[in-house]
Amino acid sequence: MKEYKTENIRNAGLIGHGKAGKTSLAEAMLFTSGSSDRLGKVGDNSCVMDFDPDEIKRGVSINVSLAFCEWKGKKINILDTPGFTNFIAETEACMRVMDSAILVLNAESGVEVVTEKVWKWADERHLPRLVYVNRLDHEQADPIRCFDSIAQKFKQDPVSFQLPIGKGPDFKGVVDLLAMKAVYFSKDAGGKCEIKEIPDDLKKKAEEHREKIIERAAETDDALTEKYLEGQTLTEDEIFNGLKAGILNGGIVPVFFGSAIKNQGVSLLLDAVLQFFPSPLEVPEAKGVDLKSGQETSIKTSEDGSLAALVFKTIADPFAGKLSLFRVYSGVFKGDQNIFNSQKNSQEHVGQVFFLLGKKQISVPRVVAGDFGCVAKLKATETGDALCQDNKHAVVFEKISFPEPVISMAVIPKSREDEEKVSTSIHRLMEEDPSLRVGRDPQTHEMIISGMGTVHLEVVVERLKRKFGVDVEVRTPKIPYKETIRASIKVQGKYKKQSGGRGQYGDTCLEISPLRRGEGFVFEDKIVGGAIPKQYVPAVEKGIVEAMQEGVIAGYPMVDLKVVLYDGSYHEVDSSEMAFKIAGSMGFKKGAMDCKPALLEPIKDMEITVPTENVGDIMGDINSRRGKVSGIEPSGDCQIIKAKVPMSEILRYASDLRSMTGGRGSFHSSFSHYEEVPGHLAEKITAERKKE
C-alpha cells in the first residue's frame, strides 16, 4: 500500500440532508478515482459506504463510513455522514476530525432541515466547505432556486464556480468558470468528459460570473484588491491563491453542479478538493490538555512529534471484535506496539493497523500525522479517547459531545434466556453509538433505552437480534407516579394474635401529616415513659416504610409525609419486632386512607428551540399538554421556549415537534419536580392501575 506524506492528504466530510445523495457522491468519487471497480448503488450489496445490513435494508446511511481514494497522486479521505435526524448525532461528532466539508444539496429541494443543522455545525468548527448541487438530471431540478436558497438560509453569498448546461433530462454538462471551457458529460456513468468551447448563449453569463470570481478572489488580500481596483489583470496564480485563501477562512463558498448517480461532474469536484481544500498542515493545530501539567497545549501536525491520535468512532462487531477508527494528529501510529490511552490511564497493545475502504480493511505498516486509520480489539479504548506514545508525552483531547436523547422506551426481553444478555448487548451497541443511553427506572424497574428517535430505537432492536441474537420488544415506559397525603390524622395500629403458644402483640399510636413537596419522608420517635421499648421502634418505622412503597390509592410509592410514633403498648412475653412492624404497617395504611391521599406525577423542565414563526403554535401545544410556559428567549433566528410539562404528555414529543416545525425544532428535557394530578385524570390512572 502506497504511503502518502501529510501534505498530500485531504480530509473531507460529505454532509447534508438525507436523500441529497451524499453516499452516491462518495461511491462516484471512489469509482472515478479507481478505488472501486464499480459504481456502487445505495440499497444493494454493491455499495462500498452503506454496507451495514440495516443501511442496505432501509436505503439510508445510519453510520458514518470512512473510505479513501487517490486522485492525481494525492490521498483523499472521505467521511460519509448520515443525513436523517435519527442518526445525525454521529455527523456532529465526526466533524471534529474533518478538515473540510462538501455540502451536498438536492437540486429539487435546495436547503433542507438537516442542511441547516450541519451548516451551523460546520460554522462552529470553522470548516472550509464547498457545495455540490446534486441531481441536476432530475425532472424537478432547479439550480437557480437551489443557489438562491444558500444565500437566504445561510446569510452567505455563494460563488458559482460552474454554470449548468441544461437541467433535468436536458442536463448535459457545465461551464467551468475557472478554465472558461464547457465540459460535457458522458451518459453512460463512466465519468468521461469532453472539453469544448462555451456555447454562445452562455458566454455573456459565463463572463459575468467569471468576473465575480475574480472580484471575490481579489477581496481576500489587500495587494490583490488594490491591483484589481486599478484595473490590472490578476494572474491565474493570484486568482487561485485568493480563492483558496477565501475558502479556507470561510469567506468564499464555491458551488459545483452534477449528478452523482450518473457520475457527472465528479472528476471536477475531485480536482477542486485538491486545489482548494487544506492539507492537515494548513488547518489550525488541534488543542489538548497535557496530562502531566494539566495545561492546555497545541498539537503540532508533524510526523516527527510524539504520537497523539483521537478515536472518533467505534464499531462493535461480534465476530471481528471492536474496531477503533482514529485520526492521527501528531507522530506516526505503527502496528505491533504498545501505546498509552490517556483517558483511561492504561496501556493498549496494537496489532495490525488498517486503512478502511468502507468495510474492507487494508493492512498498512503505519499511519502518518493527518491521516485516518483503524485498529482492532483495543480492550479499554472508547470513542473520544486519546492514544499516545507513552504517559510522559500524553495529551487528552476535548471530549466529543453527543446530543441528549429525545425519546425513551422500555425494553422487554421476549424470553427469559435473553434477560441476562440484554444489558450486556445494549452496552456493546453503546460503544459504537454513544448517542444511545440505557438505564433502569428504580421505581418501575423497567430497563429504559433512550435515543434520537423512533427509527433509531427500531434499528437498535434489529441490531440486538442480528448481532447478538437477543430478541426484545419496546413499549412506552410506565410513568413513575407517586402518592402523597393532604391532611393530618392520629391513628392506632394494633396487632394482636393468640394461637395456642406464644402470641404476637404490638400496639402503636401514630400521627400522620403531610410535608411540603420534595421533602420526602420523616419518622419521629416521641415515645416517653417506656410505652414501647426502644428496640421495637425501628421495626415500627420499617413497617411504615414498607407500607408506603405499596401506596393506598393505586399502589404507587408514597412521599412527602411525616409519621410521629407518640404512644403505644407492649406485652412482656408476646411482643416482638415482627409484631411491631405489622402494627406500624396496619396503623399507617388505616390512617393514610383518611388523610386525603392524592396522586403525584413527574414534571419535566423543557427548553424547546423553534423558528420564530412557530412560537405561537408551540405555545398553544404546550398549553394543550397541561404545560406552563415560564419564558421565551431569542437565539439567532430562533426562540427558546422554557416550560414545565407533565412527563406523561411528552413521551412522543420528538416526533410531534418535528411535525409541527417541519423538522426545524429541537428540545431537551430534565426532571423538575412532582405535582398533584388533576382529579379526573387521577381517577382514570387509578382505574387503569387496578386493571393491571
Instruction: Write out pLDDT tens, residues 350-370.
Output: 999 999 999 999 999 999 999
pLDDT mean across residues, the chain: 93
pLDDT score for 500: 65
Nearest to 86 by CA among 61, 121, 59, 107: 61
Q: Is the dihedral of CA 542, 546, 551, 557 positive or negative?
A: positive
Among the residue ranges 157-171, 200-214, 314-328, 373-387, the one predicted with the least confidence is: 314-328
User: What's the whole-number mean pLDDT along residues 413-418?
Assistant: 84
User: What's the whole-number mean pLDDT along residues 170-179?
Assistant: 96
Grid cell, residue 435, equals 448517542
Domain locations in the chain? 6-199+252-281, 286-397, 407-475, 483-596, 600-691
User: What's the whole-number mean pLDDT along residues 325-337?
Assistant: 96
Q: CA–CA separation, 91 vs 73, rounded Å?
A: 28
Nearest to 262 by CA among 185, 162, 176: 185
268 confidence band (pLDDT: 50, 70, 90): very high
Instruction: Write out pLDDT tens, residues 210-240.
Output: 999 999 999 999 999 999 999 999 999 999 9
pLDDT score for 318: 65
Supply angle C-alpha 345, 347, 348, rounded to 5.
125
User: What's the whole-number mean pLDDT along residues 630-650?
Assistant: 92
pLDDT score for 415: 84
512 confidence band (pLDDT: 50, 70, 90): very high
pLDDT score for 421: 87
Written as one letter, the residue type at 408 is S
Burial class (CB in 10 A: 0-12, 13-18, 19+), 121: middle
Grid cell, residue 425, equals 448487548
Is pLDDT above 80 for 637? no
Domain 483-596 architecture: 2-Layer Sandwich (3.30)
Grid cell, residue 471, equals 430478541
User: What's the whole-number mean pLDDT along residues 649-673?
Assistant: 91
pLDDT score for 153: 87
> Per-residue b/e over 133-172, b at no fewer than 16 CB within 10 Å?
bbbbbbeebbbeebbebbeeebebebbbbbbbbebeeebb
Instruction: Write out pLDDT tens, residues 49-60.
Output: 988 888 888 888
More confident residue, 254 or 189: 254
User: What's the whole-number mean pLDDT along residues 616-636?
Assistant: 94
Is pLDDT above 80 for 501? no
Is pLDDT above 70 for 78? yes
Instruction: Write out pLDDT tens, residues 594-622.
Output: 999 999 999 999 999 999 999 999 999 99
pLDDT score for 321: 78
Is pLDDT above 90 for 3? no
Domain 6-199+252-281 architecture: 3-Layer(aba) Sandwich (3.40)
Is pLDDT above 90 for 245? yes
> Are 6-199+252-281 and 286-397 the same fold in CATH?
no
CA 11 to chain CA mean position, Å:
22
Among the residue ranges 259-273, 299-313, 411-425, 457-471, the one predicted with the least confidence is: 411-425
In the CATH scheme, what is the homologous superfamily, with its name and number, of domain 407-475?
Answer: Elongation Factor G (Translational Gtpase), domain 3 (3.30.70.870)
pLDDT score for 690: 83
Q: Identify the CATH class of 600-691.
A: alpha beta
Nearest to 74 by CA among 303, 271, 359: 271
411 confidence band (pLDDT: 50, 70, 90): very high
79 confidence band (pLDDT: 50, 70, 90): very high
CATH 2.20.25.90 fits 286-397, yes or no: no
